[in-house]
Amino acid sequence: MKLKRRGFPGGFNRFRLMLTLGLAVVLPAAALIYVNFRQLRAFERDKVLEAAIHRDFQEMLYITEKKFTKKAYTMTEEVRNLFPSPDDEPLEKEKKLGMVLEKSPWLTHVFLSDEKSFLLQTQPKQMGDQYIRQEHDRMAASYKGWFGMEGKTMVGKMHKKTRPIDFYTGPAKRSNGEAYVLNALFVIPHVSKDRVVIGGASFDSCYLESAFFKGILDEELTQKMTDQGGNPLAMMIYPAEMDMGYQIKPLAATSGWGEGKPEVARKFDDVFRGLALGIKYQGTSIKELGATWVHRSFLILGFLSLMIVGGLVLTKHVVSKEMALARLKSDFVSNVSHELRTPLALIRLYAETLELGRITTQDKKQQYYRIIRKESERLTALINNILDFSRIEAGRKEYEFRNTDIAELVRNTLESYRYQIEQQGFAFEESIDANLPAVPVDREAIARALVNLVNNALKYSADEKFLGVKLYREDSMVKLEVADHGIGIARRDQSKIFEKFYRAGDPLVHNTKGSGLGLSLVRHITLAHGGEIAVESTPGRGSKFILSLPLVSATGRPAHGAA
């Protein structure tokens, strides 16, 4: 009946704990892990990261094209504003065109065509290139006729635009190989709209490739890297028709391009029609990055899941331990109350019997007095244990170390127990080394430790009643052994019995009243002396507790110091 009442709440609490852990922690954690896992799988399947990078690249290319266009317009606008008026004197016009070339070294040709004349000038420094010379002659020969036929339509179209500039591009030959040129045609500012006057400028192909294109590409990449960091990018510009499977040869590229095809490309229209802009990662691809990212995310998820599971196991462990401690505490209260009640009841019974005066023989009286004394001693020991324990728990326990003749201390302590030991039918063996040096100890504490060990030996012995106490020196230690031939302690309990409130699960232990405090006090006392406590035990054969004390105190005071 009693067992049931005690057992049920423990089991119930455990069940409730499991339920709470399960519902409040395990389920959400499992759901979280599962959802994340599914999401990652979907990411992997739908190539979400790859698509996002693609979009990002497209946007970069779009912005870069805008910059190219803007710069080409601005530069042409500047040239256009320097152009002479068609109504200037012929010499004046030539001079002004010459100045335009001088001010804009990045131009190859400039020309001005009006109703009467066609003026063409080429950068003098570039005339050394025979291809440029040929180009000059071709333009001089053909442009007049061209503007004569189509000039009116061209001017009409240009006037309709916000910026009256037309660009056309194409490959050209230069002495250092194939090149790419950009030509601008425009109407001259402040010239009436009905007049057929056309100005023009050709951008130098070297300037375009090494300064214009490369400048903007480099600038874009630097900007992107400072803004976002991450994997290094590379961009390049190439003739758009190469996209159709030719080996791509860039016109201009940022330093890290290396070779190969762009991941994302954009064909220019407007100014640079015919060219395309490409972008890729240096040394890796979008696909590879996507795969690495997914892989890494799976690893992180796996690691986090492990941590969650570890955390749960740890929580369960800690909570179970706390619950076990709570259970031990409640057992402790009932055990202690019982322990207090038994000696008190005996004392009262014998005192009342004596008071009634019914006991006549002196011997009997003497026996009753002795019982009363013994029981009050037991009570004192128990109360001392509890008081010591509460002092230890509150961190207020203090020890007073004095050099002590430990042999005498042990002999005296045992002497006051001898009667009880023999009364209970124990064979008592005592072996105390006579030549021990003085040891710095707290007398009361060591006596209490010994009493606790002896009491346990008496309590936990069943059939074979034996108590052996030994005191001897071993190296720099004094050892105190208390041995019995009692019920012994299971191996798994041996490390736990020194914990507060812990009592082994043996039925004999449960039928013997105890508080579970004794050994925890013994351990505390021993450690405070700088010593150690050990147990050797075989279930059914008996136990031996060995308390070792150093000859020099924990505070470093020598054994043979002050008295």
Minimum CB distance to ligand ADP, residue 498 (Å): 7
| Residue corresponding to tokens 């019914």 | 358
d(CA 158, CA 195): 12
Nearer to ligand ADP, 14 or 513 (CB): 513
| Residue corresponding to tokens 């023999």 | 422
Amino acid residing at 326: A
Strand ranges of the sheet holding 252-253, from the earlier edge strand across to the other edge: 252-253, 233-239, 275-281, 264-267
Contact present, 169 and 273 (Cβ < 8 Å): yes
Phi, psi of 424 (to 5 degrees): -80, 5
Minimum CB distance to ligand ADP, residue 411 (Å): 21
Nearer to ligand ADP, 200 or 486 (CB): 486
Minimum CB distance to ligand ADP, residue 366 (Å): 31
Minimum CB distance to ligand ADP, residue 31 (Å): 45
Q: What is the dihedral of CA 368, 371, 372, 373, to 10 degrees?
A: 120
Minimum CB distance to ligand ADP, residue 491 (Å): 12
Minimum CB distance to ligand ADP, residue 469 (Å): 12
| Residue corresponding to tokens 């095809």 | 261
Nearer to ligand ADP, 11 or 505 (CB): 505
Minimum CB distance to ligand ADP, residue 560 (Å): 34
Q: Is 200 exposed, middle or buried (0-12, 13-18, 19+ CB in 10 A)?
A: buried
Minimum CB distance to ligand ADP, residue 532 (Å): 17
Give long-range contacts, CB 8 A cutoff, 24+ apart: 501-510.
501/325, 501/328, 501/329, 501/331, 501/332, 502/328, 503/328, 503/331, 508/460, 508/462, 509/460
Minimum CB distance to ligand ADP, residue 402 (Å): 26
Nearer to ligand ADP, 72 or 504 (CB): 504
Minimum CB distance to ligand ADP, residue 41 (Å): 55
Nearer to ligand ADP, 229 or 507 (CB): 507
Three-state DSSP state, 512: coil
Instruction: Check residue 181 and report its DSSP letter.
Output: E
d(CA 62, CA 60): 5
Radius of gyration of the chain, Cα coordinates, nearest whole angstrom? 52
Nearer to ligand ADP, 257 or 545 (CB): 545
Six-digit token pair at 75? 């530069």
d(CA 263, CA 417): 94
Q: What's the angle, vertex CA 396, arms to CA 390 and CA 402, rounded to 5?
A: 110
d(CA 469, CA 484): 9
Cα-to-chain-centroid distance, residue 560: 55
Interface residues with ligand ADP (CB under 6 A) are 452, 456-457, 460, 484, 486-489, 497, 502-504, 509, 514-520, 543
Report which of 557, 26, 52 is spatially closest to residue 312, judged by C-alpha positions: 26
Nearer to ligand ADP, 357 or 507 (CB): 507
Contact present, 209 and 106 (Cβ < 8 Å): no
Contact present, 181 and 205 (Cβ < 8 Å): yes
Three-state DSSP state, 477: strand
Nearer to ligand ADP, 252 or 497 (CB): 497
Nearer to ligand ADP, 238 or 389 (CB): 389
Nearer to ligand ADP, 120 or 482 (CB): 482
d(CA 6, CA 116): 120
Nearer to ligand ADP, 182 or 467 (CB): 467
